[in-house]
Amino acid sequence: PRVLQASDIWNRMGVEESVRYTAKVSPGVSFAAAAVITFAATRSWRITLAALATIGAGVVLMLAALVGVGWEFGVVEELCVTLLIGSSIDYCIHLAMAYSEAEPPTSGGSSGGKGGVDVRGDRTLAALQSMAPTLSGAAATTALSSAMLLACQVEVLVKIGATIVANTVVGYALSLLLFTALMATFGD
C-alpha cells in the first residue's frame, strides 16, 4: 500500500527536536569555548574563572527573566536561549583581554610599588579606560539596532529582539560591574 503524507507536522516536529537539542547542548559548548578562548588569550585561570562566573551570572539572570515574564519554552524561546548564551560572552572576554594586557605600574602609580590589591586595581582601571568606550559603543549599537525588532508584527522577531536587547544590557552591566570587581579583588 502507498502512504501519502497529508500534513507538514512531521517537518515541524523535526525542526522542534533539533532546536531543543541545540538549546540543551549550546550552554555546555558555549561555556567550554569561552573557557578555552579566554584562557588561550589571557593565560590565566583566575581571569578565566572570573569571566565564566560573569557569563554564567548573565545567562542565569536572562533565563530567570524569560521565565519571569511568562515565556513558555517552545521553539522560539529555545532559539532565543541559544542566541543569548552565545552573545553573553562578548563584553566580558574583551575586558578580560584588556586586563591581561594591562601592565602593572612600576613606580609612581597608585600602588606605590606595592603588590596585591593595588596592582589589581590599577590593572582593572587600565582595562576599563582602554575598553569601556568601545564596549559602550558596541552595547549601544547592538541594543538600538535590535530594538528595531520590537516594532515588528511577527512574534518571533519581537521575542528575538527583546532577548538581544535585554541580554546586551545584562552582559554589558555585569561585565563592567561584576567582572571588574572580581578582577580588582581576585585578579592576577
pLDDT of residue 111: 46
CA 65 to CA 127: how far, in whole Å?
Answer: 30
Per-residue model confidence (pLDDT) at position 105: 64
Question: Could you list the pLDDT tens digit for every one of the 188 residues in the chain?
Answer: 677 766 676 666 777 787 778 777 878 888 898 899 999 999 999 999 999 999 999 989 988 998 899 988 777 887 787 777 777 788 999 999 999 999 866 655 454 445 555 899 999 999 999 999 999 999 999 999 999 999 999 988 999 999 999 999 999 999 999 999 999 999 88
pLDDT of residue 112: 47
pLDDT at 103: 81
Give the Cα separation of 95 and 64 in Å (integer). 25
Cell numbers given for 91: 563584553
DSSP class of residue 175 equals I
Q: What is the greatest pairwise CA distance in the chain? A: 88
The pLDDT score that the predictor gives to residue 107 is 53
| Cell numbers that stand for 168 in this block | 546586551
Do the Cβ atoms of 124 and 187 come closer than 8 Å?
yes
